[in-house]
């Protein structure tokens, strides 16, 4: 019951946020130089042709009118039509969504076990060589530019060794797993260090917390203290971080998608921005906002399930 009212509450709060985002995006796009008509017809078109095309797509109307029309459609749940492709924006988003979702879940399923393993190893070995090694590799993984890692991995495992495809998404679950392995690995290489750092810090902090000292003083074995008291309490901040990261990844796998030619949302976003396909950029921005809010909500719900003391 409480969860339900929370849900309703959150969704109500969402409306002004979406409205704000829609307006800001619209204005930013209007201010950006560049003309979708020009990119559409190509370089040889005359001014008259450009004017005719702008007229056709309503690009020459004053912007408040355009904004009004846009909101009118939005109110009816219509995200509009892509200027480039003359196809509905919602259809385009649906077309590019599955690879992104698959990739994000893939990243999560690679990252979570690795993070647990490494963070626990590091924290239990605090200051030891394993801890240091994990940290050094972590810093390297985190500091290397993503596109560079992506290009190197694709050369090594794709071109040289031939273990994994270097592009695309494939058809069917197994092919998806195969095709998206390198993109997921590339993303995990910077994500795991971030997560490990957070979890390790939390583990160390909790291991000195009062309730842990209390548990120890009761004579519980160190192993039991760790698994029953320290770990569950240390997980929460990391879970929140994971939520933030997942929300980021839904719209933020741009570079990985570019290097591995994955037909995902990030790619749609970049190409739409570059072609000034306003309605698609608008639709995607709203979609990302929605996704961010939903992921946050999911994390909050998961938090209450893990730790019933937390009230939302």
Partner 1 sequence: MLRRVAFAGALALATLFAAPEQAPAQDAIRIASPYQTTTLDPMRSAAAGNIEVYGLLYARLINRDAQDQLQPALAESWEVSDDQRIYTFRLRDAKFSDGSPITAEDVAFSLNRVRTDERSAYPAPLGSVEDIAAKDEKTVVFTLKAPFAPFLSNLDVWNMGVVSKKDVDARGEDKAFTENPVTSGPYMVKEWRPNDRLILTANPNYWREGYPKTANAELLEVSEAKTRLGMVQTGEVDAIRDVPWSEVDPLKTQENVELKLEPSTVIYMVLLNSKREPFSNAKARQAAAHAIDNKAVTQAVTFGYAEPANTTLPGAIDFHDDQHPGISYDPAKAKQLLQESGMGDREVTILIGTSATAEQIAVLMQAQWNAIGLKSKIQKVDGSAWWDLVAKGEYDASPTWWYNETPDPDLAVRWALCGTCGSDSFYTFYTNPKVDELTEQGTAEQDPQKRAEIYKEIQRITTEEVSQIPLYYPPYANAYSKRVQGLRLTPSLQWTLEEATIGG
Partner 2 sequence: MSVLAQHGLSARRAVSSWPGTLVLGLLIIGGWLLLAIFAPLAAPFDPNAVDILHILEAPSLTHWFGTDQAGRDVLSRTIFAARVDLFMCVMGVVPPLLIGVTVGLVSGYLGGVADAVLMRIYDVTVAFPFFVLVLAIVGVLGPGLGNFFIALALVGWVTYARLMRAEVLVIKTSEYALAARSLGFGPLTIMLRHVLPNALSPVLVYAMTDAVLVILAGASLGFLGMGAQPPLAEWGVMIADGQSYVVRAWWICFFPGLAAVTLGMGLALTGDGLARLLR
Q: Return the residues of window 77-106 that contact partner 1 according to CB under 8 A.
A: 82, 84-87, 92, 95-96, 98, 101-102, 105
Binding test (CB under 8 A) with partner 2, winner from 104, 203, 242, 254: 254
99 binds partner 2 (CB under 8 A): no
Q: Closest separation between CB of residue 43 and partner 2, Å? A: 19
Contact letters (x/-) for partner 1, 198-237, by CB under 8 A? ----------------------------------------
Residue closer to partner 1, measured from CB, 47 or 210: 47
The DSSP string of the chain is -HHHHHHHHHHHHHHHHHHHHHHHHHHHHHHS---HHHHHH-TT--HHHHHHHHHHTTTTS-HHHHHHHHHHHHHTT---B-TTT-SBHHHHHHHHHHHHHHHHHHHHHHHHHHHHHHHHHHHHTTTSHHHHHHHHHHHHHHHS-HHHHHHHHIIIIIIIS-SS-SS---SSHHHHHHHTHHHHHHHHHHHHHHHHHHHHHHHHHHHTSHHHHHHHHTT--HHHHIIIIIHHHHHHHHHHHHHHHHHHHHHH-HHHHHHTT--SHHHHHHHHHHTT-HHHHHHHHHHHHHHHHHHHHHHHHHHHHH-TT---
Q: Closest separation between CB of residue 51 and partner 2, Å? A: 22
Q: How many residues of this chain interact with partner 2, rule: CB under 8 A?
A: 51
Q: Closest separation between CB of residue 66 and partner 1, Å? A: 18
Select from 46-54, 105-113, 179-187, 266-274 the region that touches partner 2 (CB under 8 A): 266-274
183 binds partner 1 (CB under 8 A): no
The whole-angstrom distance between residue 201's C-alpha and the CA centroid of its chain comes to: 24
305 binds partner 2 (CB under 8 A): no
Select from 38-46, 138-146, 172-180, 224-232 the region that touches partner 2 (CB under 8 A): 138-146
Which residues contact partner 1 (rule: CB under 8 A)?
A: 32-36, 38-46, 48-49, 52-53, 56, 82, 84-87, 92, 95-96, 98, 101-102, 105, 151, 154-155, 158-159, 162, 165-168, 171-173, 176, 258-261, 263, 267-268, 271, 274-276, 301-302, 305-306
């Amino acid at each position: 019951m409480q969860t339900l009212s929370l849900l309703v509450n959150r969704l109500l709060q969402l409306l002004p946020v979406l409205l704000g985002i829609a307006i800001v995006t619209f204005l930013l796009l209007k201010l950006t130089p560049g003309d979708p008509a020009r990119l559409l017809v190509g370089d040889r078109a005359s001014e008259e042709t450009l004017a005719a095309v702008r007229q056709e797509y309503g690009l020459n109307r004053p912007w408040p009118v355009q904004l009004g029309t846009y909101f009118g459609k939005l109110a009816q749940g219509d995200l509009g039509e892509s200027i480039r492709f003359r196809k509905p924006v919602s259809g385009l988003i649906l077309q590019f969504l599955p690879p992104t979702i698959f990739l994000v879940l893939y990243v999560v399923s690679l990252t979570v076990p690795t993070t647990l393993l490494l963070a626990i190893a590091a924290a239990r070995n605090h200051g030891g060589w394993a801890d240091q090694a994990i940290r050094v590799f972590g810093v390297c993984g985190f500091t290397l530019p993503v596109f560079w890692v992506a290009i190197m991995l694709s050369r090594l495992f794709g071109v040289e060794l031939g273990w994994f495809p270097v592009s695309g998404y494939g058809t069917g679950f197994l092919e998806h797993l195969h095709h998206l392995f390198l993109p997921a690995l590339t993303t995990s290489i910077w994500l795991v260090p971030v997560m490990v750092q957070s979890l390790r810090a939390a583990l160390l902090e909790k291991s000195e917390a009062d309730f842990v000292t209390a548990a120890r003083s009761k004579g519980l074995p160190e192993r039991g203290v760790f698994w029953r008291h320290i770990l569950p309490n240390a997980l929460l901040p990391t879970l929140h971080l994971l939520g933030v990261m997942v929300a980021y990844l839904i719209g933020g796998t741009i570079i990985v998608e570019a290097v591995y030619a994955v037909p995902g949302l990030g790619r749609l976003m970049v190409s739409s921005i570059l072609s000034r396909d306003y309605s698609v950029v608008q639709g995607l921005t709203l979609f990302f906002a929605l996704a961010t809010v939903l992921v946050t909500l999911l994390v909050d719900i998961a938090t209450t399930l893990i730790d019933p003391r937390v009230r939302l």
